[in-house]
Amino acid sequence: MGAAVIGRPSGEGEAMRLVEPIVGAALVIIVAGVLIGRVVGV
């Protein structure tokens, strides 16, 4: 949607390729934090 707003509807794929690694890393960090928290008992 953001790509369409700035007038580049074909840029969505490019934006997703840039954002995917960041989102993936964030998910790994969140899941690791939850799992470590359960093991430690926090």
Domain definitions of the chain by residue range = 2-40
pLDDT surpassing 70 at residue 42:
no
Looking at residues 24-39, what average pLDDT do you find? 94
Report yes or no on whether pTM surpasses 0.75. no
Looking at residues 20-28, what average pLDDT do you find? 95
Residue with tokens 């899941």: 31
Query: Quick one: what percent of the chain has pLDDT higher than 70?
Result: 71
- 3 state SS for 1-42: CHHHHCCCHHHHHHHHHHHHHHHHHHHHHHHHHHHHHHHHCC
